[in-house]
Structure 1
């Protein structure tokens, strides 16, 4: 699984932080990490510390927040995905199809009016 940031992905000032290039087994590992670290233990999840995720040009840290804000950053290198507990529980539901079978489709992991989306894509072709 790889992680990267694509700025101004569509010419409209929208950006994407992307988790991509993974198989069903890695999707299951990622979902389990979210469940265990954020939902069960209520701790932050720093993807730079996850051995099966290779960061290319950024890092992503997941954490609980009092409101669903989505991805925020100050420097376009370190990104924070801040959601409520229910926001992360919804994210687990969105990950489910990738854990049930190999897939070539993709999924945005939240629906928030925010300039940066979080894309989950087994292949690298969804946004290039």
Structure 2
């Protein structure tokens, strides 16, 4: 699984942080890590510390917050995805199809009016 940041993907100042290039087994590992670390233990999850994720041009840290804010950054290198427990529970639910079978589809992992989206896609395209 790889992690990167793509700035201004559509000419309308929309950006994406993307988790990509993974298979079903890695999708399961990611979902289980998200559930265990954030939802159950209520701790932050720093993807730079995860063995099966290779950061390309950025890092992403997940953490709990009092409201669903999505991805924020000050430097376009370190990103923070801050959501409520409900937001992360929904994210885990959105990961389920990738954990059941190999897929070529993709999913945005939250629906918040924010300039940076979080994209989960098994292929690099």
Normalised TM-score (structure 2): 1.00
Q: CA deviation at 1:90?
A: 0.2
What do you get for the CA RMSD once the two structures are aligned? 0.2
Deviation string, structure 1 residues 95-127 (Cα, Å, up to 9, x no partner): 0000000000000000000000000000011xx
Q: CA deviation at 1:71?
A: 0.1
> Secondary structure in 2 aligned to 1:25?
helix
Deviation string, structure 1 residues 29-74 (Cα, Å, up to 9, x no partner): 0000000000000000000000000000000000000000000000
2:74 alignment partner in structure 1: 74
Runs of 4+ in structure 1 off by over 6 angstroms are none
| Pair 1:91 & 2:83 matched | no
Alignment of 1:4-83 (within 5 A): 4-83=4-83
Normalised TM-score (structure 1): 0.97
Structure 2: any 5+ residue segments left out of the alignment?
none
Distance between the aligned counterparts of 1:86 and 1:106, measured in 2?
21
Distance between the aligned counterparts of 1:71 and 1:122, measured in 2?
20
Distance between the aligned counterparts of 1:99 and 1:76, measured in 2?
29
Aligned length: 125
> Secondary structure in 2 aligned to 1:90?
helix
Alignment of 1:103-114 (within 5 A): 103-114=103-114
Q: CA deviation at 1:8?
A: 0.2
Q: CA deviation at 1:10?
A: 0.5
Structure 1: any 5+ residue segments left out of the alignment?
none
